[in-house]
């Protein structure tokens, strides 16, 4: 169980948050409507967090996920609304563009040896710019058949929630049971040793970024379908929200640590805290301070406990 210590700690924090706010605000916080709204609203971040956790386990991160998400949404929207493509083809094209963007990031980092921070900071601007050039502010009135992907409900929850859960299960299984994907832990812990062990680190990095692109594309399509509009700045700021949640969920900036359940619990915890602070009528200024404090405290506590652990 120590392997999932951070995840369990966070799960306890989630549980306590729910209990405390359910007692304080039984009708507004602990209502089915609110819990449903929280889940529907965290799905996009949750999808992104799955990919980001995989990258961070491998010791990398991607700042361009938000703009990649926007780009995939507007490419799909443009093909649907302006070119009359069928939904399947437009969705495939949107996902393809996002995967291509991820591949570019991977090649920049693994082959051209550009630092991931610089490479993805650069592509963040490029993808965002292209999205705005294609769509202007937005492309509205997307076909109903496409919107259904984001608006159809099952058990009172929208489809993106299930996409998130499905993706999380797939990547959890891959990262824990697949020999190939488990290499990400070794690459993240010690890339030099991984290379000496005959692991193809570059190929793993390129694949990691490409999958991240694909996942960001899925997040972009979910958001566009949910609101029936391709918004060209839909993903602005998503990267920092997601990295924050993933770090809370057990990832480390130096790599080699973390799990997919941790990423999801991190996203859920952040969403719960943000929701609870609004319901508790905490000023917007204080909300930012409190979320920042929680992140710093969680990471500091984890770091302290790691030092305490006997070797």
Partner 1 sequence: MTPENLTPTRRDLIALGAGLAGGAALTRYAGLEGGRAAGGIGAGRTRTGREEYVWLSANRTLPLFVANDHPALEIAGQELGVRVTIAGPDTVDIPGLVAAIEQTAARRPTGMMVVGWEAHALIPAINKAVDAGIPVICVDGDVPGSKRAAFVGTNWYDIGVKQAEAMLAALGGRRGKVALLGLIDQAIDQQAFDGFRSVALKAGLTVMEPQHDKGNQAEATRVAAAILQAHGDLVGMAGFDSESGPGMGQAIKEASLAGRVVATCVEAEAQHVRLLKEGVLTACVRQKRALFTYLGAKVLDELAFPRVSFTADDKALGIHPVAEMYYTGSFLVTRENAHIAAKG
Site for partner 1 in 36-55 (CB under 8 A): 37-38, 40-41, 44
CB of 299 to partner 1, least distance (A): 23
- Spatial separation of the C-alpha atoms in residues 265 and 130, rounded to whole Å: 33
226 scored as a contact of partner 1 (CB under 8 A): yes
Among 64, 105, 229, 259, binds partner 1 (CB under 8 A): 229
CB of 136 to partner 1, least distance (A): 5
271 scored as a contact of partner 1 (CB under 8 A): yes
- Spatial separation of the C-alpha atoms in residues 202 and 305, rounded to whole Å: 33
Site for partner 1 in 64-103 (CB under 8 A): none
Question: What does the chain look like in DSSP terms, one character per residue?
Answer: -GGGHHHHHHHHHHHHHHHHHHHHSTTTTTSHHHHHHHHHHHHHHHHHHHHHHHHHHTT---TTHHHHHHHHHHHHHHHHHTS---HHHHHHHHHHHHHHHHHHHHIIIIIS---HHHHHHHHHHHHHHHHHHHHTTEE----HHHHHHHH-EETTEEHHHHHHHHHHHHHHHHHHH-HHHHHHHHHHH-HHHHHHTT--HHHHHHHHHHHHHHHHHHHHHHHHHHHTSEETTTTTTHHHHHHHHHHHTT--TTSS---HHHHHHHHHHHHHHHHHHHHTT--HHHHHHHHHHHHHHHHHHHHHHHHHS--
18 scored as a contact of partner 1 (CB under 8 A): no
Among 232, 244, 252, 259, binds partner 1 (CB under 8 A): 232
CB of 123 to partner 1, least distance (A): 13
Site for partner 1 in 96-135 (CB under 8 A): 125, 128-129, 132, 135
227 scored as a contact of partner 1 (CB under 8 A): yes
CB of 52 to partner 1, least distance (A): 16
Choices 4-12, 99-107, 276-284, 299-307; region in contact with partner 1 by CB under 8 A? 276-284
Among 141, 145, 176, 178, binds partner 1 (CB under 8 A): 141
Which residue's CB is nearer to partner 1, number 187 or number 231? 231
231 scored as a contact of partner 1 (CB under 8 A): yes
Among 14, 18, 25, 195, binds partner 1 (CB under 8 A): 25
Residues that bind partner 1 (CB under 8 A): 25, 27-29, 31, 33-34, 37-38, 40-41, 44, 125, 128-129, 132, 135-141, 223, 226-229, 231-234, 236-238, 271, 274-275, 278-279, 281, 283-285, 287-288
């Amino acid at each position: 169980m120590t392997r999932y210590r951070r995840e369990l700690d966070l799960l306890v924090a989630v549980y306590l948050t729910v209990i405390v706010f359910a007692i304080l605000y039984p009708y507004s916080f602990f209502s089915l409507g609110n819990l449903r709204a929280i889940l529907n609203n965290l799905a996009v971040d949750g999808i992104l967090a799955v990919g980001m956790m995989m990258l961070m386990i491998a010791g990398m991160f991607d700042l361009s996920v938000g703009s990649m998400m926007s780009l995939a949404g507007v490419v799909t929207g443009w093909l649907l609304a302006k070119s009359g493509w069928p939904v399947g083809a437009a969705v495939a094209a949107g996902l393809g563009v996002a995967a291509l963007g991820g591949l570019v990031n991977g090649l920049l980092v693994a082959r051209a040896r550009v630092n991931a921070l610089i490479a993805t900071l650069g592509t963040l601007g490029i993808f965002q710019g292209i999205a705005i050039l294609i769509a202007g502010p937005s492309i509205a009135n997307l076909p109903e058949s496409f919107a259904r992907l984001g608006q159809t409900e099952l058990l009172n929850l929208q489809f993106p929630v299930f996409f998130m859960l499905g993706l999380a299960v797939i990547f959890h299984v891959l990262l824990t049971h697949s020999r190939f994907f488990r290499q990400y832990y070794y690459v993240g812990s010690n890339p030099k040793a991984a290379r000496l062990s005959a692991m193809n680190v570059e190929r793993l990095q390129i694949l990691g970024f490409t999958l991240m692109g694909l996942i960001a594309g899925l997040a972009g399509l979910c958001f566009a379908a949910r609101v029936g509009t391709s918004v060209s700045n839909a993903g602005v700021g998503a990267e920092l929200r997601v990295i924050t949640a993933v770090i809370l969920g057990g990832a480390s900036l130096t790599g080699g640590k973390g799990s997919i359940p941790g990423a999801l619990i991190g996203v859920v915890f952040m969403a719960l805290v943000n929701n609870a602070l609004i319901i508790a009528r905490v000023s917007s200024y204080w909300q930012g301070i409190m979320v920042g404090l929680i992140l710093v405290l969680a990471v500091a506590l984890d770091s302290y406990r790691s030092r305490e652990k006997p070797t």
